[in-house]
């Protein structure tokens, strides 16, 4: 998500009227990237007012 926030937001804006839904899936290890912890990302999403849903893929099976 980092580095692509505004590109993703612009894409969301292009599709929102078509009822397309976005989900951000984080599969990074919070042991490797402490800032990728669930609580930190939830706070970041709130602060940056992202209009998409956030999910965590701890097993890295989905992403």
Q: What is the pLDDT of residues 5-62, one digit of tens each?
A: 889 899 999 999 999 999 988 888 788 888 888 888 889 889 999 998 888 888 888 8
The encoded tokens of residue 1 equal 């998500």
Residue 53, phi then psi, degrees to nearest 5: -85, 150
The predicted structure's pLDDT at residue 37: 86
Q: pTM for the whole thing?
A: 0.68
Tokens 């926030």 correspond to 5
Q: DSSP letter string over 33-51? A: -GGGSHHHHHHHHHHHT--
Non-local (6+) Cβ contacts of 52 within 8 A are: 8, 12, 21, 22, 23, 24
Q: Please report, for the chain, the start and end positions of each structural domain, with discontinuous segments joined by +.
A: 5-56
């Amino acid at each position: 998500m980092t580095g692509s926030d505004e590109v993703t937001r612009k894409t969301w804006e292009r599709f929102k009227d078509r009822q397309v839904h976005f989900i951000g899936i984080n599969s990074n290890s919070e042991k490797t990237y402490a800032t990728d912890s669930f609580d930190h990302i939830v706070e970041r999403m709130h602060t940056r007012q992202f209009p998409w849903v956030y999910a965590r893929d701890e097993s890295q099976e989905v992403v």
